[in-house]
Amino acid sequence: MAEIGMRIGIDLGGTKIEALAIDEHGIELARHRVDTPRDDYEATIKAIVALVHRMEAETGKTGTVGAGIPGTISRVTGLVKNANSTWLNGRPFHRDLIATLGREVRVANDANCLAVSEATDGAAAGVRFVYGVILGTGCGGGVALEGCVHDGPNGVAGEWGHNPLPWPKPEESPGPLCYCGKRGCMEMWVSGTGIALDYKNVTGRARTTREIVADFAAGDPAAAETVERFEDRLARGLSNVINILDPDVIVVGGGVSRIEHIYAALPKLLPKYVFGGEASTPVVQAKYGDSSGVRGAAWLWPNKRV
């Protein structure tokens, strides 16, 4: 078994592709980011390959490569499915990346990468069963068991974002239409997109999630009501995760995770919805923030290689 030296992680997002090189201790060696060539599959593959070559040229080392994507690879077809970057769906992304790079590549869902990152050396370091949540433009979830991805036979373990909002109120039913074709998915309620949509539907005014959060911090009543609805919906969704999986810790990443009020509100809200009225599950902010996904992609390779 040979030691792995440099690891390269790729985080393929809807607006940017980030590449990170780390050593065996998780120390950053290089980092670069480019815009995602939206709706252009071939250009997306080329951009990733160019980033890998750039990292290796800059460091003078050859690294293992792991990639996190906003979807999953079907075990049946080998094609991408469930990606909200829809131009990836139905494409042999994993095979094409291996062929273009000329080496083995490991690919996982981006929320699984977040969970692996935080379980390896982040906010949940050393914890056996980590549930990772991404609250960003969309809403994802992933599972790390003993520091490794658990994705299940269908590649959808932890995908709470496409379960319906539990215990919907009359005004929440049937819910907004999701890109997956169903209505009322958690993604349409607790993502950044969902928060902005809820604010507009209630107030009639269009504001970005960033603006809503700033207004909330400044004491704006409409923003405060929006955040209150968001936190209650988040608690309802996570209560189902706890009821089914009961993870040791829930780690939250993505842009929306920076709303600090979440971490004070959830411990009070979760017992209302978790079976038995108890919820001692820690809910913590990702240590590496927006970099958790790309670090987890790098850590898809274990410490030793056969």
| Sheet of 28-35, strand order | 28-35, 16-22, 7-12, 64-69, 105-109
Q: Average pLDDT, stretch 43-50?
A: 97
Architecture of domain 126-286: 2-Layer Sandwich (3.30)
Where do the structural domains in the chain lie, given as residue ranges?
7-116+291-300, 126-286
Question: Which amino acid makes up residue 106?
Answer: R
pLDDT above 60 for 19: yes
Specify the length of the chain in residues: 306
CATH number for the region 7-116+291-300 comes to 3.30.420.40
pLDDT above 90 for 56: yes
User: What residues pair up with 132 in beta bridges, in sequence order?
Assistant: 142, 251
Domains 7-116+291-300 and 126-286 share a fold: yes
CB 206 within 8 A of CB 200: yes
Q: What is the pLDDT of residues 78-109, one digit of tens each?
A: 999 999 899 999 999 999 999 999 999 999 99
Q: What is the pLDDT of residues 225-281, one digit of tens each?
A: 999 999 999 999 999 999 999 999 999 998 899 999 999 999 999 999 999 999 999
pLDDT above 60 for 205: yes
Percentage above 90 pLDDT, the chain: 89
Q: What is the pLDDT of residues 65-83, one digit of tens each?
A: 999 999 999 999 999 999 9
- Listed residue (265, 287, 257, 295) closest to 29, CA to CA: 295
CB 119 within 8 A of CB 144: yes
User: What sign for the dihedral angle of Cα 269, 259, 192, 221?
Assistant: positive
Hey, how many other C-beta atoms are within 10 angstroms of the C-beta on 139?
29
For position 269, what pLDDT does the model report? Answer: 98
pLDDT above 70 for 3: no
Q: What is the pLDDT of residues 160-198, one digit of tens each?
A: 999 999 999 999 999 999 988 999 999 999 999 999 999
How far is 249 from 233, CA to CA, in rounded Å?
19
For position 84, what pLDDT does the model report? Answer: 84
**276 in helix, strand or coil?**
coil
For position 289, what pLDDT does the model report? Answer: 86
Predicted TM-score (pTM) of the model is 0.90
Q: What is the mean pLDDT of the chain?
A: 94
Burial class (CB in 10 A: 0-12, 13-18, 19+), 263: middle
DSSP secondary structure of 165-179: PSS--GGGSS-PBPT
CB 212 within 8 A of CB 245: no
